Amino acid sequence: TQLLKQSPQFLSIQEGENLTVYCNSSSVFSSLQWYRQEPGEGPVLLVTVVTGGEVKKLKRLTFQFGDARKDSSLHITAAQPGDTGLYLCAGGSSGNTGKLIFGQGTTLQVKP
Amino acid sequence: DTAVSQTPKYLVTQMGNDKSIKCEQNLGHDTMYWYKQDSKKFLKIMFSYNNKELIINETVPNRFSPKSPDKAHLNLHINSLELGDSAVYFCASSPWGQSAGGYTFGSGTRLTVV
C-alpha cells in the first residue's frame, strides 16, 4: 500500500517567517503534486513535479521532488497571512488509472 | 462558469435514509472521481470512472453506488446512511490516466448524518 506522510501536521508562524513542509514515503511515485485547500472549498492544484530532483518555483513557494521520487518538500519564503490554509501533497500511483494518494495535510496559520 | 460543480453543498439527513450527490464537469475531461475527506482532513479515493466505465472501486461499502450517465457527469447514491458516513465528499476530474496533470476538484458536499 502506498502511503504519504506529511510533517508537520500543524504550523503556526508569524508573517515574514520561512517554513518547510515535508512529504515522505517508502514508495516511488510517478508524480508528486501539491494542493492548497481553503475552508469550505476543494483543493486547488499548486504544482506538479515529475522528475527526480526537480525543483519548481511559484513566487515565494519552492517545491522539490526527491531524487528517488519518494519524497517532496514545499518551502515558503516570507510567509504572508494569505498563505494560511491546508496544504496537501499527493502522489500519482503506478498504472494509468489517474489515482492520487494524498498525505494527511499540513494546516498552516500565518499570523499578521 | 464553474469547472466542476457539485450539488448539494450541504446535506443533513437521518440515519437510514437514502441520498444522492450530483457532480458535473465542463472541462472535457475523461476521468471523474469521488473522494471522501474525513474529520481529520484526510482525502481517500472511493471511485473513479473513465468515460462512463468504472475504473477504481476502493473497498467502499456497497451502500455506495456511483453512476456515470456520460463522461461529464458522475453521481453518488448512498443507501441506508450511517453516522460514520458523515464527511465531506469531493468530486474531481482529470484527463484520462494523467494524474500528473492534476485534478480539478468541486467545492465539496458536507454530509451530516444524525
AA identity, residue A90? A
- Of A43, A92, A102, which is closest to B100 when you measure between CB atoms? A92
Rounded CA separation B24/B110 (Å): 17
- Of B33, B100, B105, which is closest to A48 when you measure between CB atoms? B100
Closest-CA residue to A7 (of A81, A104, A110):
A104
What residues of A are in contact with residue B51 (Cβ under 8 Å)? Answer: none
Q: Which three cell numbers stand for residue A55?
A: 525543483
3-state secondary structure (DSSP) of residue B15 = coil
pLDDT per residue as tens digits for the range A4-14: 999 999 999 99
pLDDT the model gives residue B87: 97
B14 DSSP assignment: -
Rounded CA separation A40/B9 (Å): 9
φ and ψ of B82, to 5 deg: -120, 160
What residues of A are in contact with residue B100 (Cβ under 8 Å)? Answer: 30-31, 33, 48, 50, 92
pLDDT the model gives residue B99: 63
3-state secondary structure (DSSP) of residue B101 = helix
Residue of A nearest to B108 (CA): A42
pLDDT the model gives residue B43: 95
**In total, how many domains does chain A have?**
1
pLDDT the model gives residue A2: 77
Residue of A nearest to B95 (CA): A98
Evaluate if residue A96 carries a pLDDT over 80.
Answer: no
Residue of A nearest to B43 (CA): A102
pLDDT per residue as tens digits for the range A46-93: 999 989 999 999 999 999 999 999 999 999 999 999 999 999 999 987
Q: Where are the beta strands (DSSP E) in chain B?
A: 4-7, 10-13, 19-25, 31-37, 43-50, 53-57, 64-70, 73-78, 87-94, 104-105, 109-113
Closest-CA residue to B35 (of A5, A98, A106):
A98
Q: How many CA atoms lie within 13 A of B55 on its CB side?
A: 20
Rounded CA separation B112/A89 (Å): 26
- Of B48, B102, B108, which is closest to A97 when you measure between CB atoms? B48
Distance from CA of B79 to the nearest CA of A (A): 25
| Domains contained in chain B, CATH given | 4-98+105-113 (2.60.40.10)
Q: What is the CATH number of the domain that holds A24?
A: 2.60.40.10
Domain range enclosing A34: 5-111
φ and ψ of B27, to 5 deg: -95, -5
Closest-CA residue to B61 (of B40, B76, B42):
B76
